[in-house]
Amino acid sequence: MKLNIAVLPGDGIGPEVIEQAVKVLKAIAMEFNHIFTFETGLVGASAIEKTGDPLPEETITICEKADAVLFGAIGETKYDIDPNAEIRPEQGLLGIRKVLDLYTNIRPVIAYDDLLNKSSLKIKQIKDTNILIYRELTSGIYFGQKELSEDGNTASDICEYTRFEIERIAHRAFKAAQSRKRKLTLVDKANVLASSRLWRKVVQELAPTYPDVKVDYLYIDNAAMELIINPRQFDVILTENMFGDILSEEASVIVGSIGLLASASIGDKYAMFEPIHGAYTKAANKGIANPIASILSAAMLLDHFELHEEADLIREGVDKSLKLHITTPDLNTKYNHVTTTKVGDFIEDFINNPEETNLN
């Protein structure tokens, strides 16, 4: 298969982790006789620095021409601490999500057996957890009108949802549940928010179309607790943009490190793959960033094109690296941890020669 992949490394640790993901994709191409080409674009703080724009036109063109986008991370302390900044790195990420209409963000949360002891949670609490979070990604309070009064004393954001926006991601979440444990949990705050009540109504209306799926409803505050005390109760979680942001980062505590969580953002025409972690400027260029989230995002990219065997091989490589403790310090404080590049190298080697690496 020929795949033209747009690569947007972004800021902080973005470039170094994406480098590993690209390395792994190249190894897959070699091994399976695919032709993957890569074109790099600017985004985020680094794009602002070079062009004044967090999402230059050229980057959009690169993404639109590509079969898929591989995204690193954006953000920089300078902007975080300046509430007056009008141009911000995040606009690059939110902009590309919107322009490509990537309305379904899928975030798997899987408790790896080899990492159970890395979690802050008790092992018996998390063992066998396997959740798929479906987060709406192109609407809600992220994209509603924002206002700051002229005197600077009043600020507001609008959270708006339409039936259309809810239906299209809900159908996908229901279908995902059908191919899994057939349970869907809608997380909202319908006891307080009008937008949440529309979510609940639409999901209730769609539910009879998927009679084999059991539907549950949880308020976000309650879900934030249940996710920790009983994560195994969840199969597919469907939720709006902001709640999905919060729940999925919270869910990283189950997995043991946020450096392991991958995601796919799927529209009708385009698809983007990105780790859920941020740019961690402080960790940049030290070789300590965990590339697994990016590498697993690359695996999700392959899955998207039905290259499941290839994706599985990447995941096997990841599993092996975890089993052998060939990991960055976030997962391996006590013993000898390795660098970002070394983790990538190991998985590359594994792909080139699964049997041999097996004997290590």
The partner residues of 109 in beta bridges, in order of sequence, read 131
DSSP state of 83: T
Residue 163 or 308 having the CB closest to its own copies: 163
Determine the straight-line distance between the first and last CA of the chain, rounded to whole angstroms.
31
Q: Does 312 bind ligand IPM (CB under 6 A)?
A: no
The partner residues of 134 in beta bridges, in order of sequence, read 106, 238
Minimum distance of ligand IPM from residue 229's CB (angstroms): 16
Minimum distance of ligand IPM from residue 249's CB (angstroms): 7
Q: How far apart are CA 332 and CA 338, in angstroms?
A: 9
CA dihedral (185, 191, 194, 197) positive or negative? positive
Tokens of 218: 């949880």
Backbone φ and ψ for 35, nearest 5 degrees, come out as -115, 105
Residue 137 or 322 having the CB closest to ligand IPM: 137
Closest CA to 140 of 158, 167, 126, 127: 158
Q: Convert residues 13-52 into a mask of x (bound to its own copies by CB under 8 A) and - (unbound).
A: ----------------------------------------
Q: Convert residues 88-107 into a mask of x (bound to its own copies by CB under 8 A) and - (unbound).
A: x-x---x-------------
Closest CA to 46 of 84, 6, 86, 8: 8
Tokens of 156: 């507001």
Could you say which of 75, 140, 231, 291 contacts ligand IPM (CB under 6 A)? 75
Q: Does 185 bind its own copies (CB under 8 A)?
A: no
Residue 258 or 322 having the CB closest to its own copies: 258
Residue 226 or 349 having the CB closest to ligand IPM: 226
Q: Does 156 bind ligand IPM (CB under 6 A)?
A: no
Tokens of 234: 């969840």
Write the CA distances from 17 to 23, 302, 338, integer angstroms.
Answer: 10, 17, 14
Kindly indicate which of the ranges 8-16, 46-54, 188-196, 289-297 contains the residues binding its own copies, using the contact rule CB under 8 A: 188-196
Q: How far apart are CA 134 and CA 109, in angstroms?
A: 11
Judge contact between 77 and 281, C-beta under 8 A.
yes
How many residues sit in the footprint of ligand IPM (CB under 6 A)?
A: 9
Q: Does 90 bind ligand IPM (CB under 6 A)?
A: yes
Q: Using CB under 8 A, list all residues that contact its own copies.
A: 75, 79-81, 83-84, 88, 90, 94, 120-122, 125, 141-142, 144, 146-148, 152-164, 189-195, 197-198, 200-201, 204, 217, 220-222, 224-225, 228-229, 242, 245-250, 252-253, 258, 278
Q: Using CB under 6 A, list all residues that contact ligand IPM.
A: 75, 90, 93, 191-192, 221, 245, 276, 278
